Amino acid sequence: DTGVSQDPRHKITKRGQNVTFRCDPISEHNRLYWYRQTLGQGPEFLTYFQNEAQLEKSRLLSDRFSAERPKGSFSTLEIQRTEQGDSAMYLCASSFIGEKLFFGSGTQLSVL
């Protein structure tokens, strides 16, 4: 399968714990995006990378959130000191140049 891969698919954690998600984009895609989706809503933009450079972050991305894309390959999204409001589906997408974004299956986070 050469699509966007996300790991884990599901994560249950207790409030206050740190969590990290991984995304492997489609090979040769230079842009990588993170989105968050809550029930009944469309995905909301969090941040994106062009190669290894993080070019934009949404104001939704508080200082508890950090994302990296070392060497312009896979990416990680870390949430520190999780809160119940962080419960959502975290989606990763990749694109070549920028117009057509292809999404992974997402990581469903539940904060208890």
Partner 1 sequence: QKEVEQDPGPLSVPEGAIVSLNCTYSNSAFQYFMWYRQYSRKGPELLMYTYSSGNKEDGRFTAQVDKSSKYISLFIRDSQPSDSATYLCAMIRDYKLSFGAGTTVTVRA
Binding site for partner 1 (CB under 8 A): 4, 6, 31, 33, 35, 40-45, 48, 56, 89, 91, 93, 98-106, 108
Q: Given its phi and psi angles, is residue 40 left (phi above 0), alpha (psi -120 to 50 degrees) or beta? A: left
6 vs 75, which CB is nearer to partner 1?
Answer: 6
26 vs 80, which CB is nearer to partner 1?
Answer: 26
16 vs 98, which CB is nearer to partner 1?
Answer: 98
44 phi, psi to nearest 5 deg? -115, 135
CB of 14 to partner 1, least distance (A): 22
Both tokens of 8, joined, read 């884990």
CB of 2 to partner 1, least distance (A): 15
Contact present, 102 and 4 (Cβ < 8 Å): yes
Both tokens of 22, joined, read 């991984």
